[in-house]
Amino acid sequence: MSIREDLLKRREELSAGRQSLLQKRLKQSGASGPELRRYAHEGPTPLSFAQQRIWFLQQLEPESAAYNEIIAVRLRGTLQLPALLQATRTLISRHPMFSVRFFDREGEIFQQVAPLFASQISLPRYDFQHLSAHDCEQAVRQQMHDLAAQPFQLSQDVPWRGSLLHVQPGEHIAVFVMHYIIADGWSIHLFVRELATLYAAIVQKVANPLPDLPIGYTDFTLWQREVLQGPYFERLVTYWRHQLAAAPSLLTLPTDHPRLPLLEQRRQSHPVIISLTLLKALQTLAQQNDVTLFMILLAAFALVLARYSHQDDLVIGSPIAGRTQIELEPIIGRFVNMLALRIQFTKTMPLSLLLQTVRTTALAAYAHQDLPFEKLVEELRPPRSLSHSPLFQAVLALENVPQAQAQLLDLQISQLDSTVEQTKYELFLSLEARGEELQGRLDYNGSLWNPMSIEHLVEQWFHILTVLLETTALTIGELFASLPDGPWTEQTTPSVEVASPPQISRPATALEERLMQIWCEVLDLPHIGLYDDFFVSGGHSLLALRLISRIKTRLGYRIRLMTLFQGRTIAALAEELADQH
pLDDT recorded at residue 498: 43
Query: Across the strands, what pairs with 394?
Result: 427
In contact, 69 and 178? CB cutoff 8 Å: yes
Gyration radius (Cα) of the chain, Å: 25
* Cα 248 from Cα 256, distance rounded (Å): 21
As to burial, measured by CB atoms within 10 angstroms (0-12 exposed, 13-18 middle, 19+ buried), residue 406 is middle
* Cα 92 from Cα 148, distance rounded (Å): 19
Class of the 228-403+419-481 domain? Answer: alpha beta
pLDDT recorded at residue 180: 94
In contact, 70 and 144? CB cutoff 8 Å: yes
Enclosing H/E stretch for 54? helix 49-60
pLDDT recorded at residue 265: 73
**Residue 21 CA neighbour count, 13 Å, CB half:** 6
The reported pTM is 0.81
| Of 528, 509, 508, the residue nearest 518 (C-alpha) | 528
In contact, 423 and 443? CB cutoff 8 Å: yes
| Of 419, 334, 267, the residue nearest 55 (C-alpha) | 334
- Residue 337 DSSP SS3: strand
In contact, 252 and 309? CB cutoff 8 Å: yes
Q: What is the mean pLDDT of each run of 10 residues along the chain (581 residues)?
A: 44 44 48 68 89 87 86 92 95 94 85 83 92 90 91 90 93 94 91 93 94 93 88 93 94 88 79 95 96 97 96 96 90 95 96 97 95 90 78 90 65 70 78 87 92 95 96 95 76 45 67 88 85 81 81 83 82 82 60
In contact, 445 and 422? CB cutoff 8 Å: no
CATH topology classification for 510-578: 1.10.1200
In contact, 171 and 76? CB cutoff 8 Å: yes
pLDDT recorded at residue 19: 42
CATH topology classification for 41-219: Chloramphenicol Acetyltransferase (3.30.559)
* Cα 407 from Cα 76, distance rounded (Å): 10
DSSP string, 97-154: GGGEEEEEETTEEEEEE-PPPGGG----EEE-TTS-HHHHHHHHHHHHHHHHHS---T
Q: How many other C-beta atoms are found inside a 10 Å radius of the C-beta of residue 257?
A: 16
* Cα 37 from Cα 214, distance rounded (Å): 8
- Compute the residue count for the chain: 581
Enclosing H/E stretch for 268? strand 267-274
pLDDT recorded at residue 1: 42
DSSP string, 514-570: HHHHHHHHHHT-S---TT--TTTTT--HHHHHHHHHHHHHHH-----HHHHHHS-SH
* Cα 180 from Cα 182, distance rounded (Å): 5
Enclosing H/E stretch for 251? none
pLDDT recorded at residue 11: 47
pLDDT recorded at residue 473: 95
pLDDT recorded at residue 83: 94
